[in-house]
């Protein structure tokens, strides 16, 4: 009986985590420029808006969901049909479009998910502030700038989060990809944000999330 209960609980946990996975999308014109469209999940209250490059992100998207994409007076209705991301080229002439799943968008993780879908963000810690601490380690610099972080049993944790019998480590995402802070050069960091808790990461975000954005080519040239 106990074994059956454990199997059922495991199945429910896996289902919940899968449901919270990020869904990234991109909407472009034929010439490759982005379309700043509104994106809504048909039959729900979930919606977002693409940025100037046409990028948008949602969470808790199901295989059978349908997207309604609106730009000015034009509207597209696109069934997802199990896609885990969507890259759309829209002619902006009625419903003429092409849509495909993109491995690039899938690999970008939570990068396109709007901040307003999250909870309890910090105001952000700039890379300049981290470097100014004089620490060569990003972990040490971040712990100085954000005292709520500490090491417990070799894991980076938030003081407000405590799990009995389970890992209390925060989830670290660098440019949307899961990693370890120890692997990131402090001089490569543009900014860091700490989330105390967020439903959009499912169980992975229960202990908090550290989001690292690294310097792009344009940032390096402007330094």
Whether residues 110 and 28 fall in one domain = yes
Task: Name the stretches of the chain with pLDDT < 50.
Answer: 2, 4-19, 118-120
Helix (H, G, I), strand (E, B) or coil at 100: strand
Whether residues 91 and 139 fall in one domain = no
Beta carbons of 214 and 147 less than 8 angstroms apart: no
Where is the domain boundary, 116, 136, 170? Answer: 116
Distance CA 48, CA 63 (A): 18
Distance CA 77, CA 90 (A): 12
Model pLDDT, residue 198: 60
Distance CA 221, CA 215 (A): 10
Where is the domain boundary, 116, 144, 171? Answer: 116
Where is the domain boundary, 60, 94, 116? Answer: 116
- Total number of domains constituting the chain: 2
Residue 95: domain span? 21-116
Whether residues 106 and 141 fall in one domain = no
Whether residues 27 and 108 fall in one domain = yes
Which tens digit of pLDDT belongs to each residue from 113-141?
765 554 445 557 899 999 999 999 999 99
Distance CA 75, CA 52 (A): 18
User: What's the longest Cα–Cα distance across the chain?
Assistant: 63
Model pLDDT, residue 111: 72
Whether residues 139 and 101 fall in one domain = no
Q: Is residue 2 part of a domain?
A: no
Question: Which tokens hold the place of 170?
Answer: 């925060």
């Amino acid at each position: 009986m106990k074994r059956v209960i454990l199997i059922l609980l495991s199945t429910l946990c896996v289902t919940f985590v899968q449901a919270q996975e990020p869904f990234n999308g991109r909407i472009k014109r034929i010439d490759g420029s982005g379309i700043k469209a509104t994106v809504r999940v048909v039959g729900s209250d979930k919606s977002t808006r693409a940025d100037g490059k046409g990028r948008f992100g949602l969470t808790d998207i199901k295989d059978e969901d349908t997207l309604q994409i609106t730009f000015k007076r034009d509207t597209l209705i696109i069934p997802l049909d199990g896609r885990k991301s969507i890259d759309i080229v829209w002619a902006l002439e009625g419903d003429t479009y092409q849509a495909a799943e993109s491995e690039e968008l899938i690999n970008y993780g939570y990068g396109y998910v709007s901040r307003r879908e999250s909870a309890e963000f910090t105001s952000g810690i700039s890379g300049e502030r981290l470097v100014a601490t004089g620490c060569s380690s990003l972990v040490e610099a971040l712990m100085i700038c954000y005292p709520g972080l500490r090491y417990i049993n070799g894991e980076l944790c938030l003081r407000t989060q405590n799990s009995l019998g389970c890992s209390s480590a925060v989830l670290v995402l660098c440019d949307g990809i899961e990693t370890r802070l120890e692997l990131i050069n402090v001089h490569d960091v543009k900014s860091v944000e700490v989330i105390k808790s967020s439903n959009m990461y499912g169980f992975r975000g229960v202990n908090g999330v550290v989001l690292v954005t690294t310097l792009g080519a344009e940032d390096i040239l402007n330094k």
